[in-house]
Amino acid sequence: MPPTIRMDEVSVTKQARRVLTDVSVTFEPGGVYSILGPSGAGKTTLLRLLNRLDEPTAGTLWLGDTPYAQLAAVTLRRRVAMVFQVPIVFPGSVRDNLLTPARLQPQQRVDSSDCVGLLALAGLGGAVLERDAASLSVGEKQRVCLARALMTHPEVLLLDEPTAALDPTATQRLIESIGDLNRRLGLTVIIVSHQPEQARTIGGRIILLVDGRIAEHATATQFFAGPVSQSGRDYLGRALAGAAS
Amino acid sequence: MSTQLIDPSWLQLGVAAGLMLVAIGLSAARGLGLERDLVIATLRTFVQLFAVGYVLGIVFSGANPGLIVGILLLMLGIAAWTVAGRQRRPTYALRVLVLGSLTVGCGVTLILATEIILRVQPWYNPYYLIPLMGMVIGNSLNSATLAVERLDSDLSSGRDQVEALLALGATSRQASAVQVRSAMKAAMIPIINSMMVVGLVSLPGMMTGQILGGSAPLIAIKYQVLLMYMIAFSTAVSAFLLTTLRARAYFTAAHQLRHEMLAG
């Protein structure tokens, strides 16, 4: 069972600008959360905090009953893995990429059959294993990054707009893979998106960030039936109108 | 054939300065706008070298160990400030780090060469220590500048890759290993290139100087070989320390990339 992650009145200030303000939210084990919001709302910053790539200016993050600050960042990141918006593959083959986490921690035993299994979960066939990772399409690279993140056997998966660079077909396939991961591995999935329709497909819970504050926190059904706040209604209206045009 | 050293007269030096007039004239003819710089460079070369010659004259005649060590430290200090000053963020911490790395790299080299290999007498003999240290520091200075610059530019341009590794549970040392390696390589390449072509394409300054000074070519060559090895050793040690320790400044204790340290 993955641990509960809690953010307790977390604020972030960068270069005198408030990026997040008093964010308090709990991510329950095995849940699927879509973080929505306009550009600059603080979505990526929130995800970076959860992976501890950044520190909050104020407030506390908790993994289970332990504050983030008391956990070794290296261990935490293996339990709470992150996939970035732009897929970053390392030089070498797909297999080299997948074995990177094992190389970083040589005492960790890695079964090479993991590579094939996790690639399949990420939606890629084992035939790509020996291919040069740099030669793959953007969509394939993103899947390699997803499978690579899974090699640490994380309990929580953070995805920062993973479909931003993908075409509609690749997007659909990746969304299906993410749903699969949640169901089959029981991972908590927290996904940043700027497409409300995608969040509706994924389901789970929606957290809407506007100007660094949580404007809405509801189930996908409740949110799409009608946001409670004015800023939520404005955002959804604009976003759906933009998608329709 | 006479091997007695010719002592150039002031008039002969003046004629040599006439060569600079030709260079200045060519600059003016081509509209390069370098005339002022060439005049300043001509004067600085004259003043700086004679000033150093005057100081060395005093140092060599007095041979006071405290003074010799003081001069060596001053040379290291100027080198460290020069290296740090050429960087994008010449912080105090960087100056101290460069000074420490160069002091260890060049200092160990000098002690090994003069005290263990050559066994100069007395140990502070300035005729050996100052020219050898000058050559070693001069080369290490260039290598250190290249190493710090390369580390900064590679970490800045490769920040996504570094963070991708951190997100997979890499330590900051693991995440920056590629960039640290590349920076140390950048520091080592100039001396390797020099060693590859020495004697074939270039005749090194020290060897030329010794031969002009009347030394037997074989002895001059032995010193040049020793010097090349000294430079390679001090470059490797200084660059190893500098790149390893400098990379740490780009990360927090929690293995987070400090974005404010990066360019762009």
Residue-level pLDDT at A185: 84
Question: Which residues from A are below 8 Å from B177, CB to CB?
Answer: none
Do the Cβ atoms of A55 and B252 come within 8 Å? yes
Given B167, B252, B257, which is nearest A77 (Cβ)? Answer: B167
Q: Tokens 């005290």 appear where?
A: B115
Residue-level pLDDT at A125: 85
Residue-level pLDDT at A149: 93
Q: Could you give the percent of chain A with pLDDT greater than 90?
A: 62
Residue of B nearest to A90 (CA): B161
Residues 6+ apart with CB under 8 A from B109: B136, B230, B233, B234, B237
Q: Are A217 and A25 in contact (CB under 8 A)?
A: yes
Chain A contact for B157 (CB, 8 A cutoff): no
Residues of chain B with pLDDT under 70: 1-3
Task: Write the DSSP string, B51-70.
Answer: HHHHHHHHHHHH--HHHHHH
DSSP class of A165: T
Give pLDDT tens digits for A121-173. Answer: 888 888 899 999 999 999 899 999 999 999 988 999 999 988 887 778 878 88
- The enclosing H or E element of A45 equals helix A43-50
Residue-level pLDDT at A106: 76
> A205: which strand partners?
A33, A219
More confident residue, A245 or A41: A41
Residue-level pLDDT at B215: 84
The whole-angstrom distance between B254's CA and the closest CA on chain A is 6
Is omega for the bond preceding A101 within 30 degrees of 0, making it cis?
no
Do the Cβ atoms of B164 and A84 come within 8 Å? yes
Handedness of CA B218, B219, B220, B223 (dihedral sign): positive
Q: Which of residues 57-76 of A touch B (CB under 8 A)?
A: 73-75
Gap between the Cα atoms of A132 and A11, Å rounded? 41
Do the Cβ atoms of A73 and B170 come within 8 Å? no
Given A54, A75, A149, which is nearest B168 (Cβ)? Answer: A149
Q: List the beta strands (DSSP E) in chain A.
A: 5-14, 17-27, 32-36, 58-63, 66-67, 80-83, 156-160, 188-192, 205-210, 213-219
Chain A contact for B174 (CB, 8 A cutoff): yes
Mean of all residue pLDDT scores within chain A: 90
Question: Which residues from B are below 8 Å from A85, CB to CB?
Answer: none
Do the Cβ atoms of A100 and B168 come within 8 Å? yes
Residue-level pLDDT at A109: 66
Q: Which of residues 89-148 of B touch A (CB under 8 A)?
A: none
Which of A50-64, A98-112, A175-189, B51-65 has the lowest average pLDDT? A98-112
Across the range A207-233, mean pLDDT stands at 92
Angle formed by the axes of helices B35-62 and B10-30, nearest 10°: 150
Backbone angles phi, psi at A217, to 5 degrees: -145, 105
Question: Which residues from A are below 8 Å from B181, CB to CB?
Answer: none
Give pLDDT tens digits for A60-84. Answer: 999 999 999 999 999 999 999 999 9
Question: Which residues from A are below 8 Å from B252, CB to CB?
Answer: 55
Do the Cβ atoms of B168 and A90 come within 8 Å? no
Chain A contact for B31 (CB, 8 A cutoff): no
Chain B contact for A198 (CB, 8 A cutoff): no
Do the Cβ atoms of B171 and A54 come within 8 Å? no
Gap between the Cα atoms of A155 and A30, Å rounded? 9
Across the range A101-110, mean pLDDT stands at 80
Do the Cβ atoms of B169 and A148 come within 8 Å? no
DSSP class of B117: I
pLDDT tops 80 at residue A11: yes
Chain B contact for A134 (CB, 8 A cutoff): no
Given A74, A149, A152, which is nearest B255 (Cβ)? Answer: A74
Give pLDDT tens digits for A17-30. Answer: 999 999 999 999 99
Chain A contact for B162 (CB, 8 A cutoff): no
The whole-angstrom distance between A158's CA and the closest CA on chain B is 10
Given A75, A77, A105, which is nearest B166 (Cβ)? Answer: A77
More confident residue, A167 or A111: A167
Chain A contact for B7 (CB, 8 A cutoff): no
pLDDT band at A3 (very low <50, low <70, confident <90, very high): confident
pLDDT tops 60 at residue A175: yes
Residue-level pLDDT at A243: 67
Three-state DSSP at B215 gives: coil
Backbone angles phi, psi at A122, to 5 degrees: -80, 0
Give pLDDT tens digits for B78-121. Answer: 999 989 988 888 899 999 999 999 999 999 999 999 999 999 99
pLDDT band at A223 (very low <50, low <70, confident <90, very high): very high
Residue-level pLDDT at A126: 83
Do the Cβ atoms of A148 and B168 come within 8 Å? yes
Residue-level pLDDT at B77: 94
Given A54, A55, A77, which is nearest B168 (Cβ)? Answer: A77
Residues 6+ apart with CB under 8 A from B206: B131, B135, B220, B223, B224, B227
Gap between the Cα atoms of B221 and B223, Å rounded? 5
Do the Cβ atoms of A74 and B169 come within 8 Å? yes
